[in-house]
Amino acid sequence: MRVCLDTNVLVAAVATRGLCADVFRTVLVEHELVIGDVILEELRRVLATKFKVPADRVQALEAVFAPYPCIPKPAEPGPAFIRDPADRWVFATAMAGNADVLVTGDQDLLAVAGELPMRILDPRAFWALLRAGEP
């Protein structure tokens, strides 16, 4: 399964132990990670500004993503009915990467999930999907 992990899931995965860390590890080992410039740029910014992670540690984390193709910033953002403009770019990245699912904790994306042409799940629902063996 091609899985795009939103920045908030990645931050939670590297900042804490728990569900998001388990999701991240499982995606890396058992699925195809869809990652893009938009998500990596936001990840760098959040780790550096909100969490004060030193640049060398951010670079070490980025090395984890090196084996995966990086989706360039799409030419157009996602649908205008997604409230947060930044989320529109995350969705567009997932679409450009042909992701089967976008895993996010972002309520703006989750609120419109039924209106978008891709499965959008929070980490707990994605974990349940994996454990149920669904494609």
pLDDT, one tens digit per residue, over 77-115 is 998 899 999 999 999 999 999 999 999 999 999 999 999
Whichever domain contains 108, its CATH number is 3.40.50.1010
Is a pLDDT exceeding 70 seen at residue 135? Answer: no
pLDDT at res. 119: 96
Residue 37 pLDDT grade (very low, low, confident, very high; cuts 50, 70, 90): very high
Mean per-residue pLDDT of the chain? 94
| Nearest-5° Cα angle at 37, 33 to 40 | 70
Query: How many helices (H) does the chain have, and how many strands (E)?
Result: 7, 5
Domain with 109, as residue range(s), is: 2-132
pLDDT at res. 80: 85
Number of domains in the chain: 1
